[in-house]
């Protein structure tokens, strides 16, 4: 039993810190730490810096330009980058479609797509969810019919995160309606500029444009854009989901959010004293602080097991549930901490470049939108109820 | 980072596990609990013969300087058997107080007996008014002649009914809830003026309230410096908190395994009730709670024997808080999912549930530790 990092791991942490001290742009870090939204340019600027360092593709093998960090190194990177206010990598290219291309794609696809992901030339989005499908991912109705050298795609995808920025989308499409629903699915790479594609924004309850609907009307997709074999897409989709599930617990993000909450609660007053010293409020913070402490050790236990050669199993599902509950609790408390100022929706204050007078605390404006926005955490990546079904089946044998 | 036990630690845990499995059936436990002693003298003897009562002590005493991690292994397995022996009270808490506060002649006098299991110690730190605040001490010790005279009452001293040595806290100076001015006395329970009112506990143990009326004790019963016991008490209570969390793991693992078996076996409306999603999700919540307790118990064990610090305080408070909350959820959910059978004395599950609820009442419940933790919050 040893809960400490090895000297090599500590040295790596120093290296990470030195890099972030020098290279992380202050304006971007300020946006992240202030819970402001980042522009496409912000993301691309940071991605460029990371890629120059060779640290962008943490999940890839070295031969394709990946880093090949160990699970512990990835964890250290995650912790430090959350602490510093590093933007989260948009995962759809680097952490989702790329591992599928690496594992199941052909050589041409690897040569073409992987470098473009590294440089940011391609911005990918995910075409999985469909209207009415919810958590039942295999009920894909978007049809792809082979006609000569092309598939003709018709249908609709939804909840497409940052699809408005994307020039590529990876899609699950139905190529066979005669078989079980999992068996007739294929994995297609589609150019968003192809004729017949329409992207429509979905404005979420916090007023943000983060997700979209994507419509396909007789879209011609070259057959060489099929990954792997036709009708085998479900296998690839599930492989991708194992990548999605890691890190969904968001332990590092919760730590950063908790530190922010404590700072906020030490500035906000109740009965003339900081909220952080208020008996009720301090206990609410204490409880989530304690739960986060436990979850972060649970996270380390999983990481140590993976480092030792194990596979992250349904334990990740348990942690996804706990981790997202914790982050939502922190967001809830941050909203409570601003009291009546939770009500005003001051859009201009959400912009970090705002230089006018603040209605109250400079951090107040994003708290309510953020709280509402992060209700998504327990819904996406397999809703928390689906995660419990997984644990029930895989761990408990029910 | 390595969360695995060393080979030695694993052997230790296996040894205790084997012993408990072989000797501590549920039926036997019910019998032990009913006796005047309240536990099995024979089992205690076996723990001693295997060197288990010496685990935290130095090699000269037959021990192997075991720290929180070794004690975690022992306590988890004792928890699995709902064992009634005074391991926590005598070996961990009593032995710990003597080791930390005792002078060399006191250590020589008592520690070999504690380590061998021959000398059983009980520790009285709480009082009727103290709730979980161990500084709230009204028992007074006044200098008289060469020694002290003690007056007061110590509350819910588990194992106090049969102990060979009582360690009690008493105030030698200061006001009721001052952290300074506390002293510890290691006294013979047969001393004139000591009255013990013995009772069974709701989870099958035995304890007593102890009235001290003009109890005259010699100066060499003073354990440590006069008036300086506050820190020792806090530190050793912290070790015991880590041990209770470890014990809870064993209790919870059994409780969860039993509930899971029941969900698979019990049929209603023609199917095993484990096919109902509402029960599945509750079961998942129980298992997830256990994981959180495991994590915190590991963390608690890792700091239990390290130098006192706010970080140690925070971790131990957090661990006991998580354990208390999870214990209650697992106990209540388990009874609920068992239905009627979970309500019966003759079925072991109820006794696991009772132990989980009672652990929350030992050395501070989840509210108490939440308050402690909250009082240490910093904006950072």
Predicted confidence at residue A34, as pLDDT, reads 87
Tokens 């996804």, residue? A320
Q: CB of A222 within 8 A of CB of A149?
A: yes
Looking at every residue in chain A, the average pLDDT score rounds to 93
Distances (CA, A) of A388 to A320, A321, A398, B286: 10, 8, 11, 11
Q: CB within 8 A of A394, min separation 6: which ones?
A: A313, A314, A317
Give the angle A273-A277-A283 at the CA atoms, nearest 5°. 140
Whether residue A253 is found in the same domain as residue A387: yes
Alpha-carbon span A85 to A88, nearest angstrom = 9
What is the C-alpha to C-alpha distance for residues A110 and A100, in angstroms, rounded to an integer? 10
A359 domain-assigned: yes
Q: Annotate B165-223 with DSSP letters as a single string.
A: EEEEEEESSS-TT-SSSEEEEEE-TTSTTEEEEEEE-TTS-EEEEEEEEEEEE-GGGEE
Closest chain A CA to residue B300: A294
Q: Which of B258, B292, B304 to mutate to test the interface with A (most CBs of A within 10 A)?
A: B292
- Nearest-angstrom CA–CA distance, B201 and B240: 19
Mean pLDDT in residue range A302-325: 87
pLDDT in tens, A88-108: 989 999 999 999 999 999 999
- What part of A 52-111 touches B (C-beta under 8 Å)? 72
Among B13, B296, B321, B374, which would you mutate to test the A interface (most chain A Cβ atoms within 10 Å of its Cβ)?
A: B374
Alpha-carbon distance of A25 to B230, in angstroms, equals 50
Interchain proximity B280–A396, CB inside 8 Å: yes
**Distance (Å) from the alpha carbon of B315 to chain A's nearest alpha carbon:** 8
Mind spelling out the 3-state secondary structure of B249-312? HHHHHHHHHHHHHHHHHCEECCEEHHHCHHHHHHHHHHHHHHHHHHHHHHHHHHHHCCCCCHHH
**Does residue A65 sit within a domain?**
yes
Scanning every residue of chain A, which has its alpha carbon at the shortest distance from the alpha carbon of B256? Answer: A396
- What is the Cα–Cα distance from A140 to A176, expressed in whole angstroms? 11
Domains of chain B in sequence order = 7-117 (1.10.540.10), 122-227 (2.40.110.10), 231-375 (1.20.140.10)
- C-alpha separations of B133 from B178, B234, B363 in Å: 10, 10, 9
A331 and A203 inside one domain: no
Number of domains making up chain A: 3
User: Does residue A385 sit within a domain?
Assistant: yes
pLDDT tens-place string over residues A260-293? 999 999 999 999 999 999 999 999 999 999 999 9
- The CA distance from B309 to B321, in Å, is 18
**Six-digit token pair at B346?**
């003759």
Residue A163 inside a domain? The answer is yes
Tell me the CATH number at A196.
2.40.110.10
Beta bridge partners of B292: none
- C-beta of residue A276 within 8 angstroms of C-beta of residue A107: no
pLDDT of residue B208: 98
- Residue A351, in any domain of the structure: yes
Residues A62 and A189 grouped into a single domain: no
Say if A94 falls within a structural domain: no
Q: Looking at the structure, tell me whether residues A379 and A270 fall in a common domain.
A: yes
Same domain flag for A368 and A253? yes
Asked whether the beta carbons of residue A294 and residue B281 sit closer than 8 angstroms, the reply is: no
The reply to whether A388 and A254 lie within a common domain is yes
Structure tokens at B56: 């935290």
At A65, is the secondary structure helix, strand, or coil? coil
A1 contacts B2? CB cut-off 8 A? yes
Whether residues A173 and A218 share a domain: the answer is yes
**A279 touches B: beta carbon within 8 Å:** yes
Among A42, A121, A53, which Cα is nearest to A89's? A42
Q: Establish if A262 touches chain B: CB-CB under 8 angstroms.
A: yes
Residue A45 lies in a domain: yes
Q: Nearest 10 degrees: CA dihedral of A317, A318, A320, A323? A: -170
Lowest mean pLDDT among A19-33, A280-294, A310-324: A310-324
**Spatial separation of the C-alpha atoms in residues A356 and A367, rounded to whole Å:** 19
Tokens at B310, concatenated: 């706010």
Q: How far is CA A375 from CA A136, A326, A336, B312, in A?
A: 19, 12, 15, 34
A289 Cβ under 8 Å from any chain B Cβ:
yes
Judge: A301–B295 Cβ closer than 8 Å, yes or no: yes
Tell me which chain A residues have a C-beta less than 8 angstroms from the C-beta of B379: 262-263, 265-266, 276
Taking contacts as CB-CB distances below 8 angstroms, the residues of chain A near B291 are: 298, 315, 318
- Closest CB to B284 among A282, A287, A391: A391
φ, ψ for residue B269, nearest 5 deg? 50, 35
Dihedral sign computed on CA atoms, order A44, A49, A53, A55: negative
Q: Is A318 in contact with B277 (Cβ distance < 8 A)?
A: no
DSSP labels, A11-54: HHHHHHHHHHHHHS-HHHHHHHHTTPPPPHHHHHHHHHHHHHHT
Residue A220 shares a structural domain with residue A327: no
Contact between A316 and A249 under an 8 Å Cβ cutoff? The reply is yes
* Nearest-10 crossing angle of helices B310-338, B229-265: 30
CA distances from B310 to B313, B317, B360, B376 (A): 5, 10, 22, 8
Q: Which residue in A has a C-alpha nearest to residue B371's C-alpha?
A: A283
- List the structure tokens of B326: 């999870």
Last residue of a domain, one of A45, A64, A89: A89
Selected residues 353-392 of chain A with any CB under 8 Å from a CB in chain B: 385, 388-389, 391-392
Chain B interface includes A112 (CB < 8 A): no
Residue from B293, B377, B378, B380 whose CB has the most chain A CBs within 10 Å, to mutate: B377
Q: How far is B292 from chain A (nearest CA, A)?
A: 5
Q: Which residues pair with A191 in a beta bridge?
A: A168
Q: Among the three residues A232, A258, A287, which one is the final residue of a domain in this structure?
A: A232
A1, A259, A293: residue with CB nearest B5? A1
Share above pLDDT 90 across residues of chain A, in percent, rounded to a whole number: 81
Residue ranges in chain B whose pLDDT is less than 70: 380
Query: Chain A partners of B378 at a C-beta cutoff of 8 Å?
Result: 262
Nearest-5° Cα angle at B269, B265 to B274: 40
pLDDT at A244: 62
- ipTM of predicted complex: 0.91
Query: What pTM did the predictor assign?
Result: 0.93
Least CB–CB distance from B371: residue in A1, A262, A283: A283
Q: Which residues of A touch B374 (CB under 8 A)?
A: 279, 282-283, 285-286
Alpha-carbon Rg for chain A in angstroms: 22
Q: Is the distance from CB of A390 to CB of A314 less than 8 angstroms?
A: yes
Kindly state whether residues A321 and A284 are assigned to the same domain: yes
Asked if B316 and B288 count as a contact pair (C-beta separation under 8 A), the reply is no
Last residue of a domain, one of A168, A199, A232: A232
Helix or strand (DSSP H, E) at A245: helix A233-245
Is residue A30 in a domain?
yes
Q: Domain containing A317 — which CATH number?
A: 1.20.140.10
Residues A297 and A330 in one domain: yes
Looking at the structure, tell me whether residues A382 and A263 fall in a common domain: yes
Residue B342 near residue B336 (C-beta atoms within 8 A):
yes
Partner residue opposite A286 with nearest CB, options B1, B291, B373: B373
CB contact under 8 A, A291 and B375: no
Residues A29 and A85 in one domain: yes
Residue ranges making up the domain that contains A362: 246-394
């Amino acid at each position: 039993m040893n809960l400490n990092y090895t000297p090599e791991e500590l040295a790596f942490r120093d290296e990470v810190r030195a890099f972030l001290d020098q290279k992380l742009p202050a304006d971007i870090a300020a946006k992240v730490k202030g819970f402001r939204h980042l522009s496409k340019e912000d993301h691309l600027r940071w991605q460029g810096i990371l890629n120059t360092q060779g640290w962008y593709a943490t999940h890839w093998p070295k031969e394709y330009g990946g880093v090949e960090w160990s699970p512990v190194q990835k964890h250290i990177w995650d912790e430090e980058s959350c602490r510093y206010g590093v933007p989260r990598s948009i995962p759809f290219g680097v952490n989702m479609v790329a591992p599928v291309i690496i594992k199941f794609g052909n050589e041409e696809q690897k040569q073409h797509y992987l470098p473009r992901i590294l440089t940011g030339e391609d911005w990918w989005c995910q075409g999985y969810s469909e209207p009415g499908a919810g958590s039942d991912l295999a009920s894909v109705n978007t049809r792809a019919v082979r006609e000569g050298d092309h598939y003709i795609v018709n249908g609709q995808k939804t909840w497409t995160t940052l699809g408005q920025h994307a020039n590529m989308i990876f899609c699950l499409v139905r190529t066979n309606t005669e078989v079980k629903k999992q068996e007739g699915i294929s994995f297609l790479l589609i150019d968003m500029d192809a004729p017949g594609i329409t992207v429509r924004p979905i404005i979420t309850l916090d007023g943000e444009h983060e997700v979209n609907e994507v419509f396909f009307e007789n879209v011609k997709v070259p057959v060489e854009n099929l990954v792997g074999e036709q009708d085998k897409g479900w296998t690839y989709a599930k492989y991708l989901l194992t990548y999605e599930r890691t890190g969904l617990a968001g332990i590092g993000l919760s730590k950063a959010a908790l530190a922010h909450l404590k700072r906020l609660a030490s500035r906000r007053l109740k009965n003339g004293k900081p909220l952080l010293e208020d008996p009720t409020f301090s206990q609410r913070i204490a409880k989530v602080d304690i739960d986060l402490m436990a979850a972060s050790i649970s996270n380390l236990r999983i990481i140590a097991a993976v480092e030792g050669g194990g596979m992250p199993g349904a334990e990740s599902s348990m942690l996804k549930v706990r981790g997202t509950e914790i982050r939502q609790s922190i967001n809830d408390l941050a909203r409570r901490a601003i009291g009546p100022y939770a009500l005003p929706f001051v859009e201009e204050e959400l912009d970090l470049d705002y230089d006018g007078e603040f209605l109250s605390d400079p951090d107040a404006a994003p708290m309510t939108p953020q709280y509402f926005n992060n209700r998504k955490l327990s819904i996406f990546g397999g809703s928390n109820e689906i995660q419990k079904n997984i644990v029930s089946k895989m761990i408990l044998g029910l | 980072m390595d969360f695995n036990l060393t080979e030695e630690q694993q052997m230790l845990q296996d040894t205790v596990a084997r012993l408990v499995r072989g000797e501590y059936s549920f039926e036997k436990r019910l019998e032990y609990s009913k006796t005047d002693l309240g536990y099995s003298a024979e089992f205690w003897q076996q723990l001693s013969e295997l060197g288990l009562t010496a685990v935290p002590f130095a090699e000269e005493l037959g021990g192997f300087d075991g720290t929180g991690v070794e004690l975690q292994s022992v306590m988890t397995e004792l928890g699995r058997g709902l064992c009634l022996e005074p391991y926590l009270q005598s070996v961990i808490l009593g032995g710990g107080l003597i080791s930390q506060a005792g002078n060399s002649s006191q250590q020589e006098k008592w520690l070999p007996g504690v380590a061998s299991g021959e000398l059983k110690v009980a520790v009285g730190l709480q009082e009727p008014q103290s709730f979980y605040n161990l500084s709230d001490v009204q028992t007074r010790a006044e200098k008289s002649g060469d020694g002290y005279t003690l007056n007061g009452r110590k509350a819910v001293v588990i194992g106090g009914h049969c102990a060979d040595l009582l360690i009690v806290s008493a105030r030698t100076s200061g006001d009721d809830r001052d952290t300074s001015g506390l002293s510890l006395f290691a006294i013979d329970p047969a001393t004139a003026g000591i009255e013990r009112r013995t009772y069974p506990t709701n989870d099958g143990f035995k304890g007593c309230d102890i009235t001290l009326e003009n109890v005259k004790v010699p100066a060499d019963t003073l354990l440590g410096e006069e008036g300086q016991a506050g820190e020792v008490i806090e530190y050793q209570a912290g070790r015991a908190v880590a041990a209770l969390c470890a014990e809870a793991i064993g209790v919870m693992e059994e409780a969860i395994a039993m509930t899971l078996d029941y969900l698979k076996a019990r049929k209603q409306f023609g199917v095993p009730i484990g096919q109902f999603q509402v029960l599945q999700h509750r079961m998942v919540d129980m298992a997830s709670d256990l994981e959180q307790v495991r994590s915190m118990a590991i963390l608690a064990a890792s700091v239990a024997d390290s130098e006192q610090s706010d970080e140690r305080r925070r971790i131990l408070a957090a661990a006991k808080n998580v354990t208390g909350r999870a214990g209650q959820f697992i106990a209540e959910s388990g009874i609920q999912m068992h239905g009627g059978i979970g309500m019966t004395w003759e079925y072991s599950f109820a006794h696991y549930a009772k132990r989980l609820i009672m652990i929350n009442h030992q050395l501070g419940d989840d509210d108490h530790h939440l308050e402690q933790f909250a009082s240490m919050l910093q904006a950072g």
